[in-house]
Each structure stands twice: as structure tokens, then as C-alpha cells.
């Protein structure tokens, strides 16, 4: 039986010869401890720790990839019925542009119920027609931490799970144009309010002589965003929707 002194000496020699391995192991434990801690924080959605996490993790791990729910039911998703309100928006944006420089007429058009005042209500109109979020996208969003660190590994011989399919690209484009339309409308309303408040009109709602370049630009951007959105829909459905609203306008 070896003496305690002998055992201590052997242990010291082992630790010395494996120092590098032990150090790397500890570093690995530390890294994964931090990652697991980060995952727990992300799951708890603590706003106060979001900024520190941005230093530890790339944006793709922390970002919210799915659109926020706005109450869209999707009952008529992909149908002409759901497309009609969006075509109405396109028509109103076109008329608002044509109404310039008459600020009073422009203000009335941008106040139409066709263009909801609240962001949630505005986006809901589009989401009633747009593709719904797929199971794959929900998986990617809820497992962003794992997907990032496995580089989207989905099994031997399979392409990365992060590779976009046609449905995912279409949905991304739909939500992108929807967001662009809202931002442009919000900016147009703010610019219009500024022009009216400054009383640059002549008291009858006419705006001749005012600098309406920014307002025109915002309205043009809003209409373009809706036009681009409609280009993603089947042309025959868009034509039917336009025919439906022809009697209203």
C-alpha cells in the first residue's frame, strides 16, 4: 500500500502533465454555463438584462424572428375577400397623392377608416390575407439558441434548417411590405399634421406654396409598399378585388 505522501506526489504529477487539458475543460464548462444562463434569461424575457446579453450573443440568437400577433383570424386567408381591404388602401394612397397640394383633401383621405389609425389594426388588415407562420418558422424562433450553435444542423446529408423555402420567402416579403406601408403612412400623417399646424395653407385647406416634398415622398413610399405587396398575390385575385371596390369609389 502506497503512503499518503506517495499518493499526493502522483496526483501532483498527473495534474501537472494534464494542466492544459484541465484548463480547456474548465473553460468549456464556463462557456456552456454562460450559454445556459443566457438561454434561461432569454426564456424569462428580462428587459433589464437584454443589453448585457447583446454582448454575449450575436443578434440572430436574441432577435424575435416572428411577427407579433395582432389578432388576425385568418378566416379568409388568401382569398379575394381578405384582399379587398388592402386594395382599398392602395386606392386611397393613390388618391391622397393626387390630392396634393390640397392639404385639406389629403387630410380627409388619410382619415378614412380604410387606413386604420393604430398600427395593430393596420397590420391586421394585411395579416388576414398573408401566409400564416409555418411550423418550421415557429421552431426556428423558439429554438434560435440551439439552431445558431448547431449551425442549423438537421441531420446527416440534409441542408441547414435555416435555409429559406419559397413559403418562408413569400411570408417574409409580405410582412416586410406591410411594415414598410405602416411606417410610410405614420410618417405621412406626422408630416401632414406639421404642415397643417404651421398654417401654411390659405385657410381653405389649400396648400399651394408649402413645401410638400417630404409628404409626397412618404405617400409615394406607402403606395409603393402596398403595390409591391399586391404583386405577391395572384393577379386574377387582385383584379377581382379592384372590380369589387370600383362601385364604392
DSSP structure string for 99-125: HTTBHHHHHHHHTSTTS-SSHHHHHHH
> Pick from 179, 158, 149, 189: which is nearest to 67 by CA?
179
Alpha-carbon Rg of the chain, whole angstroms? 28
On whether both 24 and 106 belong to a single domain, the answer is: no
Domain count of the chain?
2
Dihedral sign for Cα atoms in the order 199, 201, 205, 210: negative
The predicted structure's pLDDT at residue 197: 87
Dihedral sign for Cα atoms in the order 73, 80, 179, 108: negative
The predicted structure's pLDDT at residue 217: 98
Assigned C-alpha cell, 146: 440551439
On whether both 80 and 151 belong to a single domain, the answer is: yes
The predicted structure's pLDDT at residue 25: 39
On whether both 201 and 95 belong to a single domain, the answer is: yes
On whether both 111 and 196 belong to a single domain, the answer is: yes
The predicted structure's pLDDT at residue 207: 55
The predicted structure's pLDDT at residue 59: 52
Whether the model clears a pTM of 0.85, i.e. scores above it, the answer is no
With a cut of 50, list the residues of the chain below it in pLDDT: 7, 9-11, 13-45, 49-50, 53, 56, 60-63, 201, 204-205
Euclidean distance between CA atoms 248 and 176, whole angstroms:
29
Range of the domain at 5: 1-57
On whether both 171 and 49 belong to a single domain, the answer is: no
Q: What SS3 class is residue 198?
A: coil
On whether both 218 and 97 belong to a single domain, the answer is: yes
The predicted structure's pLDDT at residue 79: 97
The predicted structure's pLDDT at residue 84: 97
The predicted structure's pLDDT at residue 53: 47
On whether both 84 and 36 belong to a single domain, the answer is: no
On whether both 23 and 77 belong to a single domain, the answer is: no
The predicted structure's pLDDT at residue 156: 83
Backbone angles phi, psi at 206, to 5 degrees: -80, 145
> Pick from 186, 188, 192, 185: which is nearest to 207 by CA?
192
Q: Are 168 and 137 in contact (CB under 8 A)?
A: yes
On whether both 79 and 192 belong to a single domain, the answer is: yes
On whether both 170 and 94 belong to a single domain, the answer is: yes
Backbone angles phi, psi at 102, to 5 degrees: -80, 95
Euclidean distance between CA atoms 84 and 242, whole angstroms:
7
15, 41, 57 - which closes a domain? 57
Euclidean distance between CA atoms 70 and 124, whole angstroms:
6
On whether both 128 and 195 belong to a single domain, the answer is: yes
On whether both 27 and 104 belong to a single domain, the answer is: no
Percentage of residues of the chain with pLDDT beyond 70: 64
Amino acid at each position: 500500500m502506497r503512503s499518503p505522501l506517495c499518493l499526493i506526489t502522483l496526483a501532483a504529477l498527473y495534474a501537472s502533465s494534464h494542466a492544459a487539458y484541465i484548463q480547456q475543460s474548465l473553460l468549456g464548462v464556463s462557456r456552456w454555463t454562460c450559454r445556459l444562463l443566457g438561454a434561461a434569461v432569454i426564456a424569462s424575457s428580462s428587459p433589464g438584462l437584454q443589453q448585457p446579453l447583446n454582448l454575449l450573443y450575436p443578434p440572430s440568437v436574441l432577435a424575435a424572428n416572428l411577427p407579433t400577433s395582432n389578432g388576425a383570424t385568418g378566416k379568409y386567408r388568401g382569398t379575394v375577400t381578405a384582399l379587398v381591404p388592402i386594395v382599398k388602401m392602395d386606392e386611397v394612397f393613390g388618391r391622397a397623392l393626387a390630392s396634393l397640394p390640397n392639404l385639406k383633401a389629403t387630410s380627409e383621405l388619410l382619415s378614412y377608416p380604410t387606413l386604420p389609425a393604430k398600427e395593430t389594426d393596420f397590420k391586421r388588415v394585411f395579416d388576414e390575407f398573408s401566409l400564416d407562420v409555418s411550423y418550421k418558422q415557429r421552431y426556428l424562433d423558439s429554438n434560435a439558441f440551439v439552431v445558431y450553435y448547431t449551425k442549423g444542423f438537421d441531420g446527416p446529408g440534409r441542408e441547414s434548417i435555416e435555409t429559406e423555402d419559397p413559403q418562408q420567402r413569400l411570408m417574409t416579403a409580405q410582412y416586410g411590405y406591410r411594415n414598410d406601408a405602416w411606417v410610410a403612412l405614420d410618417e405621412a400623417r406626422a408630416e401632414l399634421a406639421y404642415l397643417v399646424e404651421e398654417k401654411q395653407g390659405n385657410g381653405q385647406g389649400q396648400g399651394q406654396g408649402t413645401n410638400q416634398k417630404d409628404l409626397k415622398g412618404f405617400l409615394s413610399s406607402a403606395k409603393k409598399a402596398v403595390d409591391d405587396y399586391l404583386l405577391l398575390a395572384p393577379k386574377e385575385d387582385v383584379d377581382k378585388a379592384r372590380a369589387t371596390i370600383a362601385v364604392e369609389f
